[in-house]
Amino acid sequence: MTFDLKPGERLDDLQTKNLRIIQSDEVFSFSLDAVLLAHYVSLRNRDRVLDMGTGNGVIPLLLASRSDLPRREEIVGLELQERLADMAQRNVSGNELEHTIKIVQGDLREAIQHFGHESFDVVTCNPPYRPAGIGDASVNPHIAIARFELTCTLEDVIVNAAKLLKFNGKFAMVHRPDRLPDIIALMRTHRLEPKRLLLVHPRAHLRPNILLIEGIKGGKPELRIDPPLLVHTDDGVYTQAIQDIYAGRGEFAR
Coil, strand or helix at 47: coil
pLDDT in the model for residue 241: 94
170 in Cβ contact with 120 (< 8 Å): no
Indicate the SS3 state at residue 180: helix
Average pLDDT over residues 203-213: 96
Residue 19 half-sphere exposure, CB side, CA atoms within 13 Å?
A: 23
- Phi first, then psi: what are they for 39, rounded to 5°? -95, -15
The average pLDDT across 184-206 equals 97
DSSP alpha helices (H): ranges in 141-232? 141-147, 154-164, 180-189
CB 239 within 8 A of CB 212: no
Residues comprising the chain, all counted: 254
Res 138 pLDDT > 60? no
Model pTM score: 0.92
Q: What's residue 173's pLDDT? A: 98
Least confident of 121-130, 147-156, 221-230: 147-156
Average pLDDT over residues 188-193: 98
Domains assigned to the chain: 18-246 (3.40.50.150)
Number of CB atoms found within 10 A of residue 201's CB:
17
Please state the rounded mean pLDDT for residues 183-192: 98
